[in-house]
A and B are shown apart, each in its own frame.
Chain A
Amino acid sequence: MKKFILTLIAATALTLPAAAKDALTVYAYNSFVGDYGPGTKIKAAFEKTCDCDLTFVALGDGVAMLNRLKLEGSNTKADVVLGLDTNLTAEAKATGLFGKHGVDTKRAMVPGGWSDDTFLPYDYGYFAVVYNSEMLKAPPKSLDELVNGDPTQKILLEDPRASTPGLGFLLWMKQVYGDKAADAWKKLRPRILTTSPSWDDAYALFTKGEAPMVFSYVTSPAYHMIEEKTEKYQAADFAEGHYLQIEVAGLIEASAHKALAQKFMGFILTPEFQNEIPTTNWMMPASATTDPLPDAFGKLVKPAKTLLMTPEEVAKNRREWIDEWFKAVNG
């Protein structure tokens, strides 16, 4: 017995140095974490600032993360959740799992400013209709021109039930057309080649040349300019303004590593984190970077007006609006 206890103590002593290293678990979406996303470099940069282990747990997307939290409740293993967008933050707050981030929100530079003390933005991007300039000589100059334009010039959309950009387009239509959104959808319907289950699928069909337009981001052409040296793909500048997506992170109040989680929240708006955003996440940084933005970013559309609904408005009406959309495109 004595021997056993001694062994136990020895074993505990041996494992202590490892256990002393603080561990931080961050839920993020797949494309952030995977080898093509910014996750790996951000992990390395953060671990330099602390004697800790950062583990990313990759979940499908923002919605999948929120569902995971709802299923786990206060038992969640997450210390930080990174990758929700403002369409989800009202619901995320309602879980009661998130605490205050404690970071000065003035450091966050997103269109329209930022004042939420629960969620902190780490990047943003404007949605846009991206077109192939070789196939389409006269792109629509407004959402209204898109809706009422030539039905032989098709667009690829994403399904709002399965895809974040899909929901973004639905909200854009709703904000511009209000009560008349259903009519606008009916008019747009003949122009829709198909409604893909995800951005990946829609964009793959677009680059194959299936349709001259796809619903994507203002930053999409930057990828093609930088990585493929082509200006063939352009974003259409819409007169009504562009709908904005702001991606945010939040910390879990009940986290066992709350100090470290707070440290990570502070890290999000530093250049070490932000430098990775433009050319790996292909979004706009939410704070100053030390590396200048690539030239291609200077050529992108700068929306004249920002469209964005409040998280509460979206949470309250989303289901009803999706029903409205479903009836309009099927009617």
Chain B
Amino acid sequence: MAKPTSPITRLAQGSILCAIALGVMPLLQFLLVQGVPVFSDHGISPVVFFTLKQALLSTMLSVVMGIGVARALARQSFAGKALFLRLLALPMAMPAIVAVLGLVSLFGNSGLFPGFIPLYGFWGIVLAHVFFNLPMCVRMFYQALGNAPEEGFKLAAQLNLGERAIFRHVEWPALRPVIARGAALVFLLCAASFVIALSFGGASATTLEVAIYQSLRLDFDIPRALQLSLVQVVLSLSLIGLVAHMFDAAALTFSLRQTARFRPRPRTGSIIFDWCLIAIAGLLVLPVVIAVFATGLGALHFSALTFQALGTSLALGFASASLALLLALPLARAADTASHLVSLAAMILPPAVMATGWFVLLRGLPDSAALSALLIVLLNGLVALPYAAATMTSGFLKITPAHDKLSAQLGLTSLVRWRIVDFPLLRTQLAQAFLMGMVTSLGDLTAIMLFGTHGIITLPSLQQAEMGHYRGHEAAGTAALLLLLCGALTFAAQHWGERHDPT
């Protein structure tokens, strides 16, 4: 897909790289003051080993199961499927501690099924990571499977191909370009695990992120933080490179009709298999969501503060998602390796490091709520970008060379083309990408903690404040409210995205 890089793509790439550079450069001055550290192992190898071990396992489980469940959902139709898919968006919005407490309500010592799984330890961490990331993979892959050409399925039926052959020749090519993105994203999320790793694993579950946090915060040893970040960047880049190489997006699907409606009927064995997968995914995700609602709905409480937090969360989430989508469009359209890497930049480089750099840069400016809000939006936008980009990638796959040729023949200007060709095709994905950006920003606590609050209070920060003042009951209510909000947004996005289905 060697398209020439458009100026807009370059602009998007440039802006993100610029933001990264502005985050790193101001920190380099500390190397002069505090000295360039000699690279010492200093107990970091077990940390790197642990980070890799849990992140790789969590990623593999999430991606492999994600493919299976997405395919099962695409093949089976049942009442409540749409609802099920929407509920899968909720874990993404949960602040880590809410998910931790939800899992504890189920599998903890005081939970409904104590001892069902050893929650405190390695497997608790993996379970929590799969809980967060499997739903995301399923949603992403399900969208991508929608790109599988109907002709392919029909041809396969005529040729009487087996299910494995159908998977290989029809479904896999549609999935392939999104798998690399999905896997990279899950890996980065798991590698950066902080609250989940420590909550379930304790001190022995130290990830690189925790080590970076310690040197940046407790020790105020910026050279060491930079050094550890470098380790993280190298690790992440190698893994992303490897995955991208394995799932190179070379195959180009070609189709006239977009959404695959015709599906050959699977064998009975496969139907059972599909249902097992759907059941496993359901059992993994839904009980936690139900547990959060069960403890929280009775504790819903509304005060001026709640509404302020609600409004602020919505405003910040909307702005962050808009930024993410704006950057994701040209990057996903270009769909080259550079764009892929750039879209992941804010996750490859620890956000805390970048935020510190920005802060040093801006320290001369008067502190204000507006500046804090701007930085929160910038950081959340960059963190939400990979989700938005991954979703848009599967959207742009619908735009084939045929569309390009036709538009060129008709001499459509880019604006007109966007309105009558691209936009209708991308509508569903645009809604989904925006939603994903919004939902991840809504649940975010990192940015607001990094930049100081200045009276800015969001639902997660309110939830945390309540927990910090012994008000666990109210905190559960706020967490439920956050999920209700995300649920409502998911419905709205689905509704808007499907209003004009192009097929």
Contact = CB atoms under 8 A, between A and B. Distances in A.
Interface of A: 30-31, 33-37, 57-60, 63-64, 66-68, 70-72, 75, 77, 154, 157, 159, 161-162, 192-197, 199-201, 203-205, 207-211, 220, 223-224, 227, 282, 318-319, 322-323, 325-327, 329-330
Interface in B183-216: 194-195, 198-204, 206, 210, 213-214
14 contacts: A31-B469, A58-B453, A67-B220, A159-B202, A201-B199, A203-B472, A205-B104, A207-B472, A208-B108, A209-B109, A318-B218, A326-B203, A329-B204, A330-B204
B454 interface: yes
A35 B198 contact: no
B97 A161 contact: no
A157 B202 CA distance: 9
A130 to B, nearest CB: 11
B82 interface: no
Contacts of B452: 57-60, 64, 68
A34 B217 contact: no
A210 B104 contact: yes
Contacts of B457: 34
Given A36-B469, A159-B203, A209-B110, A71 B101 contact: no
A72 B198 CA distance: 30
Contacts of B104: 205, 208, 210
A72 B467 contact: no
Query: A58, A154, A329 — which one has the most chain B CB atoms within 10 A of its CB?
Result: A58
B218 A161 contact: yes
A208 B110 contact: yes
A192 B471 CA distance: 24
Query: A37, A193, A201 — which one has the most chain B CB atoms within 10 A of its CB?
Result: A201
Contact of B213 (A68, A162, A319): A162
B203 A210 contact: no
Interface string B345-360: 0000000000010011
Query: A30, A64, A193, A227 — which one has the most chain B CB atoms within 10 A of its CB?
Result: A30
B373 to A, nearest CB: 14
A196 B201 CA distance: 9
Contact of A194 (B202, B356, B360, B467): B202
Nearest to B46: A330
A329 B101 contact: no
B201 A194 contact: yes
A71 B198 contact: no
Given A35-B305, A77-B366, A211-B109, A319 B219 contact: yes
Interface residues of B, number: 53
A31 B457 CA distance: 12
A186 B199 CA distance: 20
A328 to B, nearest CB: 9
Contacts of B100: 201
B356 A71 contact: yes
Contact of A208 (B101, B198, B217, B305): B101
B449 interface: yes
B202 A71 contact: no
Chain B's interface: helix, strand, loop or mixed, by majority? helix
A67 B214 CA distance: 12
Interface string B337-381: 000000000000000000010011001101100000000000000
B202 A162 contact: no
A329 B470 CA distance: 28
Contacts of A318: 218
Given A31-B465, A319-B219, A227 B470 contact: yes
A71 B120 contact: no
A184 to B, nearest CB: 15
Given A196-B198, A204-B475, A223-B470, 10 more contacts: A31-B469, A35-B465, A64-B217, A71-B359, A195-B198, A200-B464, A201-B199, A205-B101, A209-B109, A322-B214
B203 A197 contact: no
B468 interface: yes
A64 B360 CA distance: 14
Contacts of B213: 161-162
Contacts of A223: 470
B241 to A, nearest CB: 31
B43 interface: yes
B109 A60 contact: no
B10 to A, nearest CB: 33
B43 A199 contact: no
Given A37-B469, A71-B363, A209-B110, A329 B203 contact: yes
A72 B475 CA distance: 34
Query: A77, A208, A318, A323 — which one has the most chain B CB atoms within 10 A of its CB?
Result: A208
Contacts of A193: 109, 120, 202
A192 B202 contact: yes
A261 B213 CA distance: 32
A59 B467 CA distance: 17
Contacts of A323: 43
A159 B471 CA distance: 22
B466 interface: yes
Contacts of A282: 469-470
B202 A195 contact: yes
Contacts of A64: 217, 449, 452
Contacts of A224: 470
Interface string B80-121: 000000000000000001001100110011100000000010
Contacts of B46: 330
A245 B120 CA distance: 30
Contacts of B468: 30-31, 36, 199-200
| 5 shortest interchain CB distances as A-B pairs | A209-B110, A195-B202, A36-B469, A200-B467, A194-B202
A75 B449 contact: no
A204 B101 contact: yes
Given A197-B195, A208-B105, A208-B108, A329 B202 contact: yes
